[in-house]
Structure formats: structure tokens, C-alpha cells
Amino acid sequence: MEVQKKKRRLVSSSALLISIALHAVLILIIGGMVALKFYVKSGAGFVVEDQKPKLERRKLQLPVQTEPFMEQMSKPKRQSTSRLTANAPQMVNIPEQGEYVKMAPPPSFKGAYTNFLQLDRTLEFNSKYRDVDFGLSTMQFFGVRGKAEKIVIVLDASKSMLYDRQGGMDSYQMVQEDLHEIIDGMRSATLFNVVLFDEDKVSVFNPALLPATPLAKTNALAWVGGINTNLIQVGITDDMVNYSSPKNYDIPMAKEDVTGWLKGIQAAFEMKPEIIFMLGSDWGSTTTLEHNISYFKKSKAYTTYQKKRAQYFLNDEERAEEMEEYTTDFNEFREIALKMLELENQARNEMSMQPKVVQDWDEILADNKIELPPPPLMEEEMYATLNPAHTRYTFNEILETVFTMGMEQYRELGFPQLNFVLLRGTSSGRNSAAASSVMTSDAKFRLLSRMLRGRFRYLKGMPQIINQLDQDESDIRRLLEDNTENEI
Amino acid sequence: MKSPIYFLLLLLTVTTFASEEELHTFTRADGKTGKDRIVKYNFEEQIITLENSGKIAFDLLSEADQEYVLHWNQVQGFTSSFRFKMELTPRDWARLRPPTLNTTPYLLDAFQMQGKKTPMHLLEMHNEYIENNALNLRAEGYEITIKNSNFFPIKNLKVESRIYYEQEKYITDGDIFDSPKKLFTETETIRKSRIKEEALPSIAVREEIVLYSECAIMAEEQLNREKRQTNGENNTDDSTFNYDWDDHNRKRRGKVIGLWVRVGITGLDGEMIWREKITPDSLKDKVTWDGTFLDDEKEQE
């Protein structure tokens, strides 16, 4: 029995040993496989850096110090690959002074920050995924709030900001005073710029964004403050124009038709700010007095259309007569309007007031409830060959233009925040059914800002300047007749 | 059984390619010279294995040869598909999608009179019709990820990428009025490509750099015009113009075709060595690197 027991013990102990041995072999095999897999993945001979340089968070986003960067570019450290002579200097991106925003490519990092290029890359990196707020300025731009490190203000400097119905010069002065506060409130580490536009003229305060230091702010305010201070010199003077787009965008609009706020925004896009604030008065290059419709004109097509339209009335005797009659009427009304303006300005002068600023002379006719007769209409079938719709850009074409101009600059950074403020006098304007068809400046800006997740606000200007004289058409006609008789 | 054969074949191929390299005259620091070919360079231990002369310490070579070795090493590291990788990822960078606008079509005639700066306008609303206008603008591009798994930095790279895309355009622009249906709805496809060239001074050890291609900006637009319905009845037509726009619906689209990326380094002979990555693979059959679309070329022929 004992022998059998011993035998059983021996058998069980040997089984245990075999089992342990088998497990050990299995563990070794599996361990080996895991090690081998790991070994293959990590790659033979890869150097793991013992001490990666600890990255310091960049708190301030200022223009890159190009000098040390350039020095490092020309003198690479010897310890790594300095003996390599395959350097091709022409392939090296050396940023120009103050041109740090144009330092594409903006690579983002996933790996180690080991080379000297980290400086400018981090800069780009922070601009998108900002995690510090040293240079952040909270802006309250005429009721629109925004927070950013890079800000551009685009301001309408055209005559349309000075119209009587917008509140005249007082409204513009109010804008400038508010602008004082806005620019003054910027932190010194905020990068900013100011762009002025006046029809096809654009003037930029500085070629690139610049830190809002006290000196820069003072200079910017002095620069803006010199605009539209008197009615003798309205808008941007020719010597102030310092912007023309450096590139041809693949847009539905002709380059010469990109005017007004579109051109101002284009200049702003090229500086790549995070937020753009625009203060303007009208959407397009043409705003109708009759219906307040605003659109961008296709200048070439418009000229051709006008020639053909005139030809249409000249070609037929009856139509030519109709047009002649209309032209006589039109000229009479023009004379009346100009006389009314003259008298109104005389009255204002006596009251030491600024002269009347109007979009066109027929505005004073409307003020005095006189309607300018509508021009003769073409016959229905003529519109098929002479289509007035071809003389202006559609809303979609403008959207495509804005989107393309923006994205050609921003690319992977996404579209910036775009905010619009529209100066509006206290008068209700002459909106018609056109507003329901997305044709007015208000409707278009409102839609665009909603699409871009920006904001839209009205800036209530000073009260509309009321005419000093209430003039009557027949009185003016009589006055004009008397003048003619006297002259004879 | 097959793997050793493959390994031998691979070895043979590598040897054949290696032997294609021209012999270089190496000069040692002590002045001795000899023509040879580099087989391996151990960057860590600074040892070069030459085909005929065997192993030699890096420091024993003349300065010019050291530079040659480093350049050779750069080229080897760059051409290794295992240690130097490129990846392309499509990205949607921005979209602008206005709400679908339901508006009333209108005729706005502009008339320029002499002696007046602003034109005079005649507005006629076509209240009997409703216009549904949808627009979707997209900006798409690619992320180009370049990873250096070598244990030395790769320097002075040139990265070029060309994005290919197409956009439909209406043949008749602007408003419709009496345009024949065929012309109004017809579109033509315009194929475009945009190139981006940039220089990478250096990619550090085990660094992964993300670059970006040019941006393809495309529009998708749809315009429908239909008669306004009120309680199942058509509105009375009070317009001067009596157009039938019911079948004047049109749309246009755009899409990205692909991306062709090439990364280059100066070779030992001074010529550029390019490595390419193309997505989708079929793109190479459709386009050329200089931006020509092969279909267009055939059509022209």
C-alpha cells in the first residue's frame, strides 16, 4: 500500500513539475513574442532622448524675434548634423521682419519639440488653440462683444457715413469718440490694425498687425481722427491709399468690382486676425434711393447695358421722343433740386450749420415730397436680350467672394469671426417690400453675420438733420423763371 | 518556406541598387585615399562600413568626406519608406451654409441719366413666383503628416502638394427671365488644381510634422422657382412680365478629386530626389503633376 502511495505521490509531483515546466515554457514563449513585437515596433537603434527639453508655455504672442532665428538658421548646432553640407539656403523660410503672420506653413505638433523651429510653430499653434490670455482683449465694438488676441477694425470712411439721414458729421464724430474708447481699452499685447475704406480706396494704418502699445494706439487714433473732420475733404485722399491686393483671388467678382467693405475685409483677411469688426453704412457699391436696395455693380456689364439701353430708345422715333420728353423733365427737376439745395445750404450757413450731405441731388426732392418721374421702361421682350440682372452680382456671388477671400488666407485655421455694425440714422429709412426679398443692406448684413456666426448690430447715429427750409416745387419753379427773365 | 527566398531576393535587389551607386573617393585624415562605396553608417557609434575597406571611424575621414557621409545618410534616411513616412488625411476646413432663402424674384432695371451720379431704378416684384435658393460653400484640404523615425534629423526638405478639384459653373449667369431652359440649366465643369510649395529646414528625430495642402473652395448651389400657391389656387398674375419659370430649376456642384504630394531632398548628385504620395491611387491615371487633367487633354486632341 505504501509503495502504491509513494508511486502516486511521485506521479502527482512529477505531473506538477511537468505542469510548472510547461507553464514556464509558455510564459517564456509569450513573453518572448511580446518582447519581439515591442522590439519590432520601437525600431532598432532609435535614440530615445533622455531629457526632452521642458516646454515653456508661451504666454505672449508677439512678433518673432527674427534675428536670433536667422542666426540659428545660418549656424546650425554642430553636435547633431552640422557636418552635413547639403544645406540649400534657398529652401529655408526666413521670415521677414514683422511678417510673422505670413509664416506659413503653420504645422502643429504631435511629437517632440526639439528643433529651433518651435518658436514660430508654437506661435501659430497658440493662435488657433490659445490657452493663455495675456494678449486677449475683450472688445465692445458698438454693441458687439468679442475677445481675441488679433483684432482688425474695418471702418467706412466714405461720404455715406456723413449723410444727413445718418446724422451727418455729428454721427461720424460720435463714431470716432467711441473708437477712441475701443482702441484705448486694448491690452498692450493685443495685436491690432485699422482699415479704412471709401468706395474703391482702402487705407491701412499699418502694413501688418501691431501690438497695441500706448504709442501705437495714439498713432492709430490720430490717423483715424484726421478723417472726415470737415466737408471740404471727405473720405480717403489719394495719398492715403496704401492697399492693393497682392493676389488675384479665384472669385466670382471682377477685381475692380471688389470695393467698399468687401475690399476693406479683404485687406483685413490678409492680416489674419481672429476677429474682424466692420462698421459701415451700405452693403453694395450702389444703393437705390427709391427702395433702399443695395448691390454690387458689375461695372463692365453695367456700362455695356447702359449703352444698349440708350441705343434702344434712340433706334425708334417714338421711343426717342418719349426719352427726350423725359430728359427735359429730368433736367427741370435737377435744376429744381439744385436750387433747393442751394437755398437749404444758405439757410444752414446763416444758422452756422454744416452744409447738407446727400447721396444724390434728388434726395432733397424726396425730402420735400417731390417725386422724380420714373425713367421710361423698355418693352418686355427687350429684357430677354438686355437683362439688367446681369449688371449686378447676386447675393450668392458675394457670399462666395467673401468665403473664398477668407479661406484662401485662413485655410486650416477656419473662417474668422466677422461682425458687422451698420450705422443707421434715426430716420426709419425708405425700406419697401424689397426688404422681404433680401435686397437691402440690413437684410444682407444680417444674413451674412448669422452664417458666419458673427454678430450684427445697428449703431444708432445722431438724429437725422432736419432741413431748415420746407420748400415747395411751384415756388422754386417761379424763382427759377424769375431768374431766367432777369438774366434775359 | 517562401520567406527565406523573399529575403534573399530582397537582399539581392538592395545589393543591386547599392552597387548602382557610383564609387566615391574617400580621403582619410592621414591623407590616404581610396575609391569605395558606403554600405552602412552607424550614426550612434559614428562608424562607417565601406564595401571594400570595411569599417572606418567617422572622425578618421576628411571633412569633405564626413559631409558626404552625412549627406548619404540623409538620403538613405529620407528614401526609407519604413523610417520616413507620409500620410494624407482629407479635412473639411470650413463650411458656409446660409439658410435656404425663400424670396420673391424681381426685375430691377437700372438707368443711368446724365447729370446724376447714382442710377435710377425700376423695381418690379414677381409676386406670383417664389424663389428657393440654397447655397453651400465648402473649403476642403488635406493634412500632410510627415514622420521622421530616423535617429537623426532630416534637413532641407522641399514639400510640394497639388490639390485637384472640380467645380460646376452655370453657362448662363445672373437672372433668368426669358433664357431658354437648356442654356439656363446647363452647367460646365471646370477642373482646377492648386499647388503649394514650402521648405522644411529640418524634421527632428521622431518628429511628426503636420503640413497643409492648398485649399479647394467649392460651391454647391440650387435654385428653384415655382408658382406661389394660395389655398391650392394660383395667385393672380399682376406682373408686366409673364414668364414661365416652373422648369427653370438648376443646380451646380463641386468636389475634390485628390491630392498629389511630393517631398524632395537634394541627392548626392545634386539632383532632387522625390518621394510621392497620392490619394486616391487612381488620381495618377487622371492627372499629371503639372496640373493637367488627362481627360481634358484627350478631349482637346
Measured between beta carbons, which residues in chain A are less than 8 angstroms from residue B104? 433, 436-437
| DSSP code, position A411 | G
In this complex, the residue of B120, B198, B210 whose CB is nearest that of residue A108 is B210
- Nearest residue in chain A measured CA to CA from B59: A83
Tell me, what's the ipTM?
Answer: 0.83
Contact B214 A372 (CB under 8 A): no
SS3 B43: coil
Q: In sequence order, what are the residues at sequence separation of 6 or more whose Cβ sits closer than 8 angstroms to the Cβ of residue A143?
A: A421, A457, A459
Percent of chain B with pLDDT strictly greater than 70: 83
Residue A471: CB atoms within 10 A of its CB come to 23
- What is the total residue count of chain B? 301
- Kindly report, residue by residue over B138-188, the tens digit of the pLDDT: 999 999 999 999 989 999 999 999 999 999 988 876 566 656 667 778 889
- Out of A132-146, A233-247, B270-284, least confident range: A132-146
The answer to whether A373 and A333 have CB atoms below 8 angstroms apart is yes
Pairing of strands A286-287, A294-295: antiparallel
Q: Which helix (H) or strand (E) holds B45?
A: none
- Out of A357-371, A417-431, B248-262, least confident range: A417-431
- Kindly report, residue by residue over A460-480, the tens digit of the pLDDT: 878 888 888 888 888 888 888
CA dihedral B3, B9, B14, B15 (to 10 degrees): 130
Name the grid cell of A246: 497682392
pLDDT band at A366 (very low <50, low <70, confident <90, very high): confident
- Which residues between 220 and 249 in chain B have a beta carbon less than 8 angstroms from any beta carbon of chain A? 221, 240-242
Name the grid cell of A107: 504645422
Measured between beta carbons, which residues in chain B are less than 8 angstroms from residue A85? 67, 70-71
Give the pLDDT score at A434: 57
Measured between beta carbons, which residues in chain A are less than 8 angstroms from residue B83? 43
Q: Which helix (H) or strand (E) holds B248?
A: none
Contact B266 A45 (CB under 8 A): no
Cα separation, A341 vs A372, whole angstroms: 15
Percent of chain A with pLDDT strictly greater than 90: 27
Give the ranges where A136-274 is alpha helix by DSSP (H): 168-184, 214-225, 260-269
- Name the range with the highest mean pLDDT among A108-117, A164-173, B59-68, B242-251: B59-68
Residue A104: CB atoms within 10 A of its CB come to 16
Taking the CA of residue A150 and the nearest CA in chain B, the distance in Å comes to: 20
| Integer angstrom CA distances of residue A141 from A183, A344, A443, A453, B83 | 10, 35, 20, 16, 52
Cα separation, A74 vs A76, whole angstroms: 6
Q: Looking at the complex, does the CB of residue B192 fall below 8 Å from at least one CB of chain A?
A: yes
For residue B249, pLDDT beyond 60: yes
Cα separation, A268 vs B130, whole angstroms: 37
Give the pLDDT score at A11: 64
The answer to whether A397 and A252 have CB atoms below 8 angstroms apart is yes
Residue A413: exposed, middle, or buried by beta-carbon count in 10 A (0-12, 13-18, 19+)?
middle
- Kindly report, residue by residue over A15-59, the tens digit of the pLDDT: 788 888 888 888 888 877 766 655 544 333 333 334 444 444 444
The answer to whether B42 and B77 have CB atoms below 8 angstroms apart is no
Q: What is the DSSP string of B16-39?
A: HHHHHSPPEEEEBTTS-EEEE-EE
Q: Looking at the complex, does the CB of residue B255 fall below 8 Å from at least one CB of chain A?
A: no
- Kindly report, residue by residue over A386-431, the tens digit of the pLDDT: 788 888 998 889 999 999 999 999 999 989 888 898 888 765 455 5
Q: Taking chain A, what is the end-to-end CA distance rounded to the nearest angstrom?
A: 158
In this complex, the residue of B70, B113, B151 whose CB is nearest that of residue A45 is B151
| DSSP code, position A392 | B
Q: Write b or e for each residue in A330-350: b if 16 or more Cβ atoms lie within 10 A of its Cβ, otherwise e.
A: beebbebbebbbebbbeebee
Measured between beta carbons, which residues in chain A are less than 8 angstroms from residue B110? 286, 302, 305, 388, 391-392
Name the grid cell of A283: 452693403
- Name the range with the highest mean pLDDT among A122-136, A430-444, B198-212: B198-212
- Of A234, A437, A452, which to mutate for an interface test with B (greatest number of B Cβ within 10 Å)? A437
Measured between beta carbons, which residues in chain B are less than 8 angstroms from residue A413? 93
Which one has a higher pLDDT value, B44 or B5? B44
- Kindly report, residue by residue over A252-310, the tens digit of the pLDDT: 999 999 999 999 999 999 999 999 999 998 899 998 877 788 999 999 999 999 999 88
Q: In sequence order, what are the residues at sequence separation of 6 or more whose Cβ sits closer than 8 angstroms to the Cβ of residue A297?
A: A257, A284, A285, A286, A391, A392, A393
Contact A407 B117 (CB under 8 A): no
Cα separation, A166 vs A154, whole angstroms: 19
Q: Looking at the complex, does the CB of residue B110 fall below 8 Å from at least one CB of chain A?
A: yes
The type of residue at A323 is M
The answer to whether A427 and A165 have CB atoms below 8 angstroms apart is yes
- Which residues between 267 and 296 in chain B have a beta carbon less than 8 angstroms from any beta carbon of chain A? none
Taking the CA of residue A112 and the nearest CA in chain B, the distance in Å comes to: 6
Angle of helix A299-315 versus helix A317-350 axis, rounded to 10: 120
Q: Looking at the complex, does the CB of residue B171 fall below 8 Å from at least one CB of chain A?
A: no
Give the pLDDT score at A427: 55
Residue B227: CB atoms within 10 A of its CB come to 13
